[in-house]
Structure formats: C-alpha cells, structure tokens
Amino acid sequence: MNSTWQLDSLYTGFDAPELIADLKKAESIHEKYRPLLDALEAASIDPQKGIETYLSYLIEDSKLLRTLSAYGHLNFSVNSKSQEALTLVDKTQTASNHLTEFQVRFKKWFSTGDISSKLSEMAEASALIDAHHFYLEDMKAQSRYLLSANEEVLIAHLKTTGSDAFETLQRKASSQLMVDIHLHGETKKLPIMAVRNLAYEADPALRKLGYEAELNAYRQHEEISAAALNGIKGEVLTLSKLRGFDSPLDETLFNARLSKKTLDAMIGTMEDYLPMFHRYLKLKAKALGHEKGMPFYDIAAPLEGSSKSYTIEEAKLFVVKNFGKFSSDLATFAQRAFDNRWVDFEPREGKVGGAFCSNIQSIGESRVLLNFNGNFKNVLTIAHELGHAFHGDRLRCESILNTGYPMPLAETASIFCETIVRKAAMEEADDDFKCLILENRLQGAMQVVVDILSRYYFESKVFEVREDHPLSVNEFKSLMEEAQLKAYGDCVDPELLHPYMWLNKPHYYYAARNFYNFPYAFGLLFATGLYAIYLERGDAFLNDYDTLLKATGKMSVESVCAVVGVDPTTKDFWETSLKLIEKDVDLLESILSQKSDIM
Ligand SMILES: [Zn+2]
C-alpha cells in the first residue's frame, strides 16, 4: 500500500542477515575502543593519530547504531505491540550505553590542557580533525559537567530501567488507549488519536463529545502517567544537580547551545504579544458563539463554511506544487520522499499519535509518520515534516557527528516549509479559503506561542515542586490549569480548560530533552523571521538558507543566526516575526467583519 512507509531500505526484517551482520559489526568496533583508550591514557600513541582513530570508530559506529535503532523505533511507532521492535531498541540502547565508558574516558583525556590546547595545530595537519573542530571543542565544554567514567556508565545503564522505561510505559499506555464514545446512536471504541481528531470536526457536538471522551479516558490513566512523570522529572533533577548545573533549565540551555539572554529576549517578546493572541481568540470565540470565553475543545474548531478536505493524493500534489514555487530542489526532494514511500499517512490501532520525522543520516533517507485525516492542517503537517527531512538531506554530506543540531534549530526548516505552502495557498485562495488558511495559521501560531508558554510555565513549576516531593495527580492537574490561565488569560472559559494536557503531550516524558517546548516557539519565530528575509532578498536567499541548514550541527544557535545576519539576543528580531503574525490577525478580523456585514 502506498499510504504506508517502507522500511526495507533499512532492513527487510528483524531476522534479515544484514541486520544480524550489522549488530556483529557494531560489536566488533566496540571491542576496539578499550585498547585505544588504554593507549591514549598511557601516552603510548601519538595524540593526533589517537584522535583520528577515535573519530573514525565513532563515525562508523554511529552509522550502524543509527540504522539499527531507527529500524527498531520506526517499527515500534506503527506497531507498539511489536516485541521484536522493542528488543532491537533495547539492544541498540544497551550497545550505545556500553560506549559511555569510552566516550567519557576520551572526553576526559582530550580535555586535559596539553591535548586540547593543540587542537588548532592538529586541525591544520589533519582534515578529519579539522572537519570535527566544533565537535571536539563542544566535547571539551561538556567535560566540565561529566562525572567519573564509572558513574557515567552506571547512570547510562540505570536510565534504561528508569526514565527510559517510564517513557516507554507512557508511550505504550497512551498509544494503545482505546476510548469508548457514543457516536451516531451507538457506542464505539476508537483509538485515542481518532477521538482527539474530533476537535477539528465542523459539528460542535462532535468536538465537545470528543473532548469529554478524551478526558474520561485520561482519567483511567492519570496515576500511571503521574508516576511516570514523577520518576522522569525526579531523575532529571538528581542528575542535573550532580553534574553541577544550576537547574534543569540551565542544563537544557547548555545542551541547546543557546544563551539565557536569547531565551529571555524571546520569552519576553512572546509575553508582550499575548494581548494580540487574546484578541484573535476572542474573535474566534465570538464567531463560534461563546459568551463566557473559549472552551478548550473549540480552540481547534474550524470556522463555519471553511471546511475543505484533501485525499492523500491531492495533499501530495499540493505540497510538491507549492514547494516548487520556492525552489525546484525542494519540490524534487518531496517527490522523491513520496515515490520512495518515506511517509506513513493514516492512523491505525497501535500506531503512535501525532507526527514526526526521523532523519536516518546513515542511509541518507528519512521517514515521516503522520496521522492524516484529510484537513488542510494535515496538509501543512506533511510540509512541516518534509521540511525536517529536507534539513536532514542538506546535512547528508556532513559527517554524521556534525548532524546533531540543537533543539531550537530543529524546527527551522519544518516551519519554513509550512510557511512556503501556506503563503502559496493564500495567493490562489478565495475569501472563504483565505479565512480557513489564516485561521489555521493563527491557531498554529497561538499553539506555538500561547500554549507553548503554558507548557513552559507548567514544566518550570513541575520541576520546582518535584524538588520538594513527588506531585499528586491533582497537583499536576491544577498546575496545568494555572499555567493555561496565565497564558490564555481571560479569553478561555475557566471551567473548560484541559487539565490533562500533560498526558497528551509526549514531550514531558523525554528524559533527555527537558523543556521541549520553547524550541517550538524559537522555530516558529525564527522561521517566520527568515521568511521575511527571503521575501526581501528573493532567490539570493536560497544559498544562505542552504549554508544555514548545513551549519546547524556545528555551531552555537547565535552563530547560526549570524549566518543570515540575525541577532537573537535582543527583542528586535522577535518583534519583526510577531508583527508579521499580527498582520494576519488584522486581516482575519477584517474578513470576519465583512462576512458579518453581509449577513
Ligand atoms: Zn517539527
């Protein structure tokens, strides 16, 4: 079937000889690390030669483990009952944990003054070291927060049965959740994602029904999720303190290669513009006939008369055609992704919710998971995820060690692609469709600014309270409601919030990625600002854009911004982006008022 992805370019099955051979190959490389590290520490090998050998092992090894773990993860994400997938994920995880000891020993050896101070000299003499200059510098910075090799190994092993296990539990419990719902005169059991998708239905009764059924279903899982979240956040706090970070936020910023000054400038500007988003929500609440403010279940509601649906084929055509208006490279790339079946489109039982893109650098391909239901927003999600894939493609010629871009830059290409498709669609739309596109754009921007702020407030508070004690279900719920009220202000109905949003978003459960919220805001506002630059510079921007994407794996966020002349540490740049969004609020307001004049 063309609407499901093929994973055969990775392996043809869990018992494929290539898969077994790759596992063995990875094992044999792993055996080479110990003698190398012993030699480095005993100074019985030339340092430059030692660094080169280490890098070459790491490159080969990273490729193998990336391919193997992608195969496990991707299979698991469409079939959460697959024991074989889970076993492979576990095997690759264990294998990479075994490497921890050598990585820590290498970092410690490399960071000693007399070795790392000769880095520039060695980079001049060695192309391999030169290509990994930033990688090695970054490694030196990381070594400040490292514990002893033994402790790091123990932590890596315990994580698989601690935070990682809690994350798996939450993912399994939420993706397999079947919800009872009374629809069209009969009681049905639907997967949770199908129930959540009712939020986009034109019929208001269905949206409300979906929300109530969702909250009911979550009620049965609240204790499991609370235990998982307490376990994960508790572990994060313990480790981040042990490593010498001021807080989990401090650690997140360090790993994100982002300065606090940049984060504060961005969050501050987002807060300045909250009234503009509230104006939009009030407009929408009024159009939907809500007197007491917007209930949470109607935030995603389509406005009347604006529904339009797409088949998978129509959606593909739409995306490729509009990507072509930006560059033929991008259009050709998207067509290749569809032709080679990189995309898994429709929801089904056992498949995880939401959407993601997995860039498999080791084979130069990507896979995209969607829960496509045919609305315009889903079409934009295709563009979004293919943007991630395109980012991966630009990094194809880089060393695999230079492809790990930090979280704030992760959403740049995806949101840029979304913007391309949306703007192109606006140009050929009639007033009704324009209204839909604008509404969709503002709803998305509001999610990424207002809802993300609520998630940022919530997670900050959770860490604060978790330092003192594990949170009860009621504490999680009330912190969530407080955070929602703080961000959404007086334009939501305080009786109809979403106290279970922490069950719904998997991001809170990623132990290795805390505060996986503000990077989305960074992504939207950065990409919006970049699009403004593209409008100004035209095709001359295409090269800069390529350079920027290629640089994302080997620079700090501020340096990447500097590639296109942007300073993210002051409010000016962020205001430019938010003003572009404000223009859309004005436009929607005028279209809606014209409509009500006619009526
Ligand atoms: Zn994304």
User: Residue 231 class from Cβ within 10 Å (0-12 exposed, 13-18 middle, 19+ buried)?
Assistant: buried
Q: What is the mean pLDDT of residues 339-364?
A: 93
A 10 A CB-CB count for 367 gives 26
Q: Would you state the pLDDT for residue 160?
A: 87
Across the chain, what does the average pLDDT equal? Answer: 92
518 contacts 267 by C-beta, under 8 angstroms = yes
Q: In the numeric block, which tokens belong to residue 337? A: 């992704």
Rounded to the nearest angstrom, the distance between the alpha carbon of 414 and the centre of ligand 1 is 6
Rounded to the nearest angstrom, the distance between the alpha carbon of 356 and the centre of ligand 1 is 7
Pairing state between β 365-369 and 343-344: parallel
Residues 6 or more apart whose Cβ sits within 8 Å of residue 248 = 236, 237, 240, 463, 514, 515
Q: What is the mean pLDDT of residues 570-592?
A: 92
Q: Would you state the pLDDT for residue 446?
A: 95
Rounded to the nearest angstrom, the distance between the alpha carbon of 369 and the centre of ligand 1 is 11
In three-state secondary structure terms, 396 is: coil
Could you tell me the pLDDT band of residue 306, with boundaries at 50, 70 and 90?
low
Higher pLDDT, 466 or 505: 466
Q: Each residue of 154-187: pLDDT tens digit?
A: 998 899 899 999 999 998 888 788 898 888 888 8
88 contacts 72 by C-beta, under 8 angstroms = yes
Pairing state between β 365-369 and 356-360: antiparallel
Higher pLDDT, 238 or 1: 238
Rounded to the nearest angstrom, the distance between the alpha carbon of 182 and the centre of ligand 1 is 33
Rounded to the nearest angstrom, the distance between the alpha carbon of 386 and the centre of ligand 1 is 9
Q: Is residue 198 part of a domain?
A: no
198 contacts 209 by C-beta, under 8 angstroms = yes
User: Residue 311 class from Cβ within 10 Å (0-12 exposed, 13-18 middle, 19+ buried)?
Assistant: exposed
Q: Is residue 110 part of a domain?
A: yes
Q: Is residue 127 part of a domain?
A: yes
Rounded to the nearest angstrom, the distance between the alpha carbon of 212 and the centre of ligand 1 is 28
Rounded to the nearest angstrom, the distance between the alpha carbon of 290 and the centre of ligand 1 is 32
In three-state secondary structure terms, 264 is: helix
Q: What is the 3-state secondary structure (H, E, C) of 23-89?
A: HHHHHHHHHHHHHHHHHHHCCCCCHHHHHHHHHHHHHHHHHHHHHHHHHHHHHHHHCCCCHHHHHHH
Q: Tell me the C-alpha to C-alpha distance, in Å, between residue 485 and each of 269, 466, 480, 490, 492.
A: 19, 21, 9, 7, 8
Q: Residue 14 carries which DSSP code?
A: T
A 10 A CB-CB count for 599 gives 5
Sequential DSSP letters for 321-385: HHHHHH-HHHHHHHHHHHHTT-EE-S--TT--SS-EEEEEGGGTEEEEE----SBHHHHHHHHHH
111 contacts 381 by C-beta, under 8 angstroms = no
Q: Which of 83, 95, 101, 122 is nearest to 41 (CA)?
A: 101
Q: Would you state the pLDDT for residue 591?
A: 84
Rounded to the nearest angstrom, the distance between the alpha carbon of 411 and the centre of ligand 1 is 5
Q: Would you state the pLDDT for residue 413?
A: 95
Buried b or exposed e, range 398-418, using 16+ CB within 10 angstroms: bbbbbbebbbbbbbbbbbbbb
Could you tell me the pLDDT band of residue 598, with boundaries at 50, 70 and 90?
low
Q: Would you state the pLDDT for residue 304?
A: 66
Q: In the numeric block, which tokens belong to residue 211? A: 């929300």
Rounded to the nearest angstrom, the distance between the alpha carbon of 425 and the centre of ligand 1 is 20
Q: Residue 471: phi, psi to the nearest 5? A: -80, 145
Strand partners of residue 368: 343, 357
Residues 410 and 522: their CA atoms lie apart, in Å, by 9
Residues 526 and 32: their CA atoms lie apart, in Å, by 43
Q: Is residue 226 part of a domain?
A: no
Q: Which amino acid makes up residue 311?
A: T
Q: Would you state the pLDDT for residue 112?
A: 80
Rounded to the nearest angstrom, the distance between the alpha carbon of 54 and the centre of ligand 1 is 33
Rounded to the nearest angstrom, the distance between the alpha carbon of 254 and the centre of ligand 1 is 21
Rounded to the nearest angstrom, the distance between the alpha carbon of 409 and the centre of ligand 1 is 10
Rounded to the nearest angstrom, the distance between the alpha carbon of 413 and the centre of ligand 1 is 9
Rounded to the nearest angstrom, the distance between the alpha carbon of 384 and the centre of ligand 1 is 6
Nearest-10 crossing angle of helices 204-219, 222-242 = 70
Specify the range with the lowest mean pLDDT, choosing from 17-21, 232-236, 533-537.
533-537
Percent pLDDT > 70 in the chain is 98
Higher pLDDT, 500 or 183: 500
Q: Each residue of 536-558: pLDDT tens digit?
A: 899 999 999 999 999 999 999 99
Percent pLDDT > 90 in the chain is 72
Rounded to the nearest angstrom, the distance between the alpha carbon of 366 and the centre of ligand 1 is 13
pLDDT above 90: residue 271: yes
Rounded to the nearest angstrom, the distance between the alpha carbon of 324 and the centre of ligand 1 is 21
Residues 392 and 522: their CA atoms lie apart, in Å, by 19
Sequential DSSP letters for 494-547: TTS--TTHHHH-GGGG-TT-TT-SHHHHHHHHHHHHHHHHHHHHGGGHHHHHHH
Q: What is the mean pLDDT of residues 200-228?
A: 92
The pTM (predicted TM-score) of the whole model is: 0.86
Q: Which domain holds residue 101?
A: 17-161
Rounded to the nearest angstrom, the distance between the alpha carbon of 175 and the centre of ligand 1 is 19
Q: In the numeric block, which tokens belong to residue 193? A: 């994602």
Q: Each residue of 36-93: pLDDT tens digit?
A: 999 999 999 999 999 999 999 999 999 999 999 999 999 999 998 899 999 999 999 8
Q: Give the rounded distance of the alpha carbon of 308 from its chain centre.
A: 27
Residues 492 and 299: their CA atoms lie apart, in Å, by 9
CATH number of residue 32's parent domain:
1.20.140.70
Q: Which amino acid makes up residue 47?
A: P
99 contacts 33 by C-beta, under 8 angstroms = yes
A 10 A CB-CB count for 520 gives 23
Q: Each residue of 103-161: pLDDT tens digit?
A: 989 998 998 877 878 889 999 999 999 999 999 999 888 888 989 888 988 998 899 89
559 contacts 253 by C-beta, under 8 angstroms = no
Rounded to the nearest angstrom, the distance between the alpha carbon of 520 and the centre of ligand 1 is 8
pLDDT above 90: residue 232: yes
The dihedral region occupied by 257, where left means phi > 0, alpha psi between -120 and 50, and beta the remainder, is: left
Q: Would you state the pLDDT for residue 377?
A: 85
Residue 461 host element (H or E): helix 452-466
Rounded to the nearest angstrom, the distance between the alpha carbon of 523 and the centre of ligand 1 is 9
Q: Residue 180 carries which DSSP code?
A: E
Specify the length of the chain in residues.
599
Rounded to the nearest angstrom, the distance between the alpha carbon of 513 and the centre of ligand 1 is 14
Number of domains in the chain: 1
Q: Would you state the pLDDT for residue 194?
A: 86
Q: Each residue of 416-462: pLDDT tens digit?
A: 999 999 998 888 888 888 888 898 899 989 999 999 999 999 999 99
Q: What is the mean pLDDT of residues 216-242?
A: 95
Residue 186 host element (H or E): strand 186-191
Q: What is the mean pLDDT of residues 470-481?
A: 98
Rounded to the nearest angstrom, the distance between the alpha carbon of 404 and the centre of ligand 1 is 15
